[in-house]
Structure 1
Amino acid sequence: MVPNGLAVVKQEPREIHPQQGTVVGSGGGEVVAVATEETMDEPQINLQLGVSRFHCLACLRPIKPPTFKCGVAHVVCGACRSAHTQACSHAAAYAACPEVDAIISDAKLPCPFSEFGCPSLPVYFQAADHERVCHYAPCYCPILGCETYTSPTKLLDHFRSAHAWPVTEISYGKLCELAMPANAGLHVLVGKEDRRVFLVSASALGVCVAVSVVCLRANGGAAFGVPQYRCKLWVESRRSAGDVAMVTFSVASKNMSGGLVAAELGSFLAVTPDLLHDAAGETAVLRVRVDKVSGSGGGAAAPRFPIPPANCSGRQL
C-alpha cells in the first residue's frame, strides 16, 4: 500500500549503507533519505511528493528550518511554535527535527521559468523569493500583433533580428547620447553590469514628441532583491544656447502585454518642435543617464544628476 500523498518513483536498485542513510517513516511506507554531504558526482533523483509534506502545519507556507515537532509529531517552522501551541493541545513540548531540516534544505525544484532559459534550482522554501526576482520571467514584444513572448534576454535577440531596432550598451551612472527615436520607434539599452534591458520610446504628443524609458521585466515591484532604477532625459536646443528640456524619474517596469506608448507612461520628456530640430532640420540628440539606485526594494537615496558634458556617447553593440 502506497502511503497517501506519496508517489512511487522507480529506479535502479543500489546499495544504501546504514551510515549513509536515514529511514524516515511515512505511514505504512518508508523513504530513504541520503544524508551524506553533496559532492559534484553525487547522483540526483527526481521525486514526486505531496506538497503538504513541505508546508508548515501552523502557517501553511513552505516550511523553513530549523523545524520542530510537537507531542503528536506535527512539524512546524521554528518561528511558528507559539502559534501552533495555541491550536494544538499536545504542543506543550517540542523536539528539534534535524532530519527534516536536512531534507527540506536539499529539496530543490526547477524555476517555473526554466523553459525561458533559467537554470536555477532553488530550494523549495525559497522558490517564491527566486520567482519574484528571476531575470528570465517572460515579457512580450511591445509591437502589437507580434506574438513573441519570452525572456528579456531572448527578446533582445528578437528586437535585433525581427525589428532591426538599434541596441546600445550603457553603464549605470554614465551618460550616453542617442539619436532621437522616431515617432513610435524604439531604441534598446542594455545595462553592462547586469544585462537589464531598457526601451527608449517616442510617441506623438500634440505638436511635441514624448520620450520615455521603461525597464523590460515582469517582476519590477519594489520587493526585496529587485533592483530599482532612475533615469534622466534631456535635450539641448541647437538653435538657442541654454534652452533645455529635462526630466528625472523612477523607471517603471512593464512586461509589455499592452504595448508601449511613451505618452501613456507616468513620466516622460516632452520635446517641443523648436528643440526637436535645428535650423537646418537636423534632429536633436537625446541624452540619457540611468542609475541603479537599489537592489533591495527601497531605502536608497536617489542619485544626484549633475549637468552632463556634451561629449559622451554610448557604445553600439
Structure 2
Amino acid sequence: MSSSTPQKRVSTPENGHGGKRPRALASPDGGVKQERRGQAEASQGGEGEGAVVAVQAMDDPQISVRISVARLHCNACLVPLKPPTFKCEAGHVVCSTCRGRHGQGCAGAGAYAACVELDDIVRDAKVPCAYEEYGCTSWVVYHKVVDHHRTCRWGPCFCPDSSCELYASPARLAEHFAAHHAWPVAKIAYGKPCKLAVPGPQGRQVLVGEGDGCVFLVSPCALGAATAVSLVCVRAGGDAVAGAPQFRCKLWVEVEGNKENLALVTSMVASSNLSGGFVAAEQGMFLAVPPELLHDESGEAPALMVRIDRAGAAAAAASARSPSATPPSKLPKRLQ
C-alpha cells in the first residue's frame, strides 16, 4: 500500500481514563503488572504476616495509534468491517455479507476462516467524533461512525438570522441566540405545558429540553392579519435524520378572560438545521393565531402554551428509565 493511504486515529480498547494517559503506558513491556504489584505491596502497609492484600482494580490502559483505513474495511464491499470477519485463502479479509460472494478475481475465495482476533479489534477500535470541534467528546466505534453522526446532538447548524454567519452545535447556538440576539431562552419539561408570550412579528423564543438538551425554536411570521407560529427542533440533517429522537407538540393560544375562543394545533415536530433561515408558514405545520385573539376586547394579553412530548423510541426509552414518572396532564380537558 502506498504511503498516501489515509490514516485514522484509533483508540482501543474502551476508554476509562478520560484522556489521562495511564503511567503503565510508559513501560509497555510489563508496566501494568509492575504497577499492580506495587499497589498490592503498598496495600499490605507493613501490617504483618497474613494481612489481606487488596489489589486496586484498574481499567484497561489506552493508547492512540494511527492505522491505515484499509485495515478496517472489507476487501470486497469496502465498507467498515464489523464482527464477524472472515479471511479467504488468499488472505483477503471480508465482512460476513461478502463471504459468500467474494470470488471475482480472487483464486483463494473457496474457503474462509473466522478472524476472531480481528473481531476484537474492529469491535473496540474507536475514533473521535467528526464533530469534536463543535463540542462532542465521544470516541465512537469505527464501524458505527455513520450512525453516530446521524444522531449526534453536537452536529452543527446555522444561525437563522440573515445577518449572522454562525455555524455551531445546537447547544452553542442556544447560548448565541440569548447573548447576541436577545431571544428569550427557557427550559421545558417534556409532557408539561410551558407558558410563553405570543411572539411579535420579529420575536423568537428558544426552548431547551430538560435532560437531553434538545433545542427548539419558536418563530412567527405574518399570515395576512393573523400570525403563524411554528416550532422546529434545531438539528443537523433536519428531518432526514434516521434514528434521531422524535417529538410531538401541542401549541395553543387562549386569553384568560375569553375561554370561548381558542386556537390550537397538534403535530409532530419538524427538524431543521436552519440553513434556509427561519421556517415560514408554508414550510410545515404552524399555529394560526387570529387577530381576534391577538387583540382581544377584554384587554388581556394572549398566552402561547407549548407542550412537547417525546415520541417513538425516545418516549419508550424515557418510560423504561422512569416508568412511574409520567406527570399528569395539565392541559384543559377539552385539549386532551
Provide the TM-score with structure 1 as the length reference.
0.79
- Report the counterpart of residue 49 of structure 2 in structure 1: none
CA distance in 2, matches of 1:296, 1:210: 28
SS at 1:241's partner residue? strand
Residue 174 (1) aligns with residue 192 (2): yes
* Distance in 1 between residues matched to 2:143 and 2:170, nearest whole Å: 26
Equivalent position of 2:274 in the other structure: 256
Q: Which residue of 1 aligns with 2:228?
A: 210
Shift in CA distance, 113/14, structure 1 to aligned 2, threshold 3 Å: same
In structure 2, distance between residues paired with 1:173 and 1:306: 7
Structure-2 change in CA distance of 1:284 and 1:262 (3 Å): farther
Partner of 1:277: 295
SS at structure 2 position matched to 1:52? helix
Whether the 8 Å CA contact 2:255–2:302 is kept in 1: the answer is yes
- State the distance in 2 between where 1:6 and 1:184 align: 48
* Alignment pair present for 1:42 and 2:61: yes
Which residue matches 1:34? none
Q: Which structure 1 residue ranges, 4+ long, deviate > 6 Å from structure 2?
A: 1-4
- Which sits farther off after the overlay, 204-213 or 77-86? 77-86
Shift of the 2–247 alpha-carbon distance from structure 1 to 2, 3 Å rule, reads closer
**Secondary structure of 1:46 counterpart:** strand
Q: CA deviation at 1:241?
A: 3.2
- Check whether the contact 1:220–1:226 (CA below 8 A) recurs between aligned residues: no
CA distance 1:269–1:5, shift in 2 (3 Å): closer
Q: Which residue of 1 aligns with 2:332?
A: 309
Give 1:111 shift. Answer: 0.6
Q: 1:148 aligns with which of 166, 181, 184?
A: 166
Question: 277-286 vs 154-163, which deviates more?
Answer: 277-286
TM-score (norm 2): 0.75
- With over 3 angstroms needed to count, the CA separation of the structure-2 counterparts of 1:284 and 1:293, relative to structure 1, is same
Q: Unmatched 5+ residue regions in structure 2?
A: 10-24, 34-56, 317-327
- Preserved contact between residue 255 and residue 303 of structure 2 (Cα < 8 Å): no
Q: Does structure 1 conserve the Cα–Cα contact (< 8 Å) formed by 2:159 and 2:274? A: yes
The residue aligned with 1:201 is: 219
SS at match of 1:122: strand
1:72 aligns with 2:90: yes
Match of 2:305 among 287, 305, 313: 287
Structure 1 pair 259–165 and aligned structure 2 pair: CA distance change class (3 A): same
- Structure 1 residue 207 displacement after superposition: 0.5
Cα 1:15–1:163 change in 2 (3 A) is closer
Whole-Å separation in 2 of the counterparts to 1:297 and 1:52: 39
Say if 1:223 and 1:296, in contact at 8 Å, map to a contact too: no
Distance 1:208 1:71 in 2: 72
Q: 1:82 to 1:308 in 2, by over 3 A?
A: same
Aligned CA RMSD, in angstroms, stands at 3.1
Once the two structures are TM-superposed, the CA of residue 16 in structure 1 deviates from its matched residue by 4.3
Alignment partner of 1:189 is 2:223? no
SS in 1 for 2:260: coil
Match of 2:117 in 1: 99
Matches of 1:5 and 1:279 in 2, distance apart?
73
Count matched residues: 281
Partner of 1:283: helix, strand, or coil?
coil
Unaligned runs of 5+ in 1: 21-37, 299-304, 311-317
Distance 1:2 1:260 in 2: 48
Q: Tell me, in whole angstroms, the C-alpha distance in 2 between the residues paired with 1:259 and 1:72.
A: 55
Summarize the Cα distance change of 1:185–1:265 in structure 2 as closer, same or farther, 3 Å threshold: farther
Deviation at 1:87, TM superposition (A): 6.5
Q: Residue 107 of structure 1: CA displacement? A: 2.1
Counterpart AA for 1:279: E
Structure-1 separation of matches of 2:107 and 2:64: 38
Q: Secondary structure at the match of 1:119?
A: coil
Aligned in 2, Cα 1:14/1:176: closer, same or farther, shift over 3 Å?
closer
CA distance in 1, matches of 2:2, 2:70: 16
In structure 2, distance between residues paired with 1:175 and 1:166: 17
Q: CA deviation at 1:261?
A: 3.8
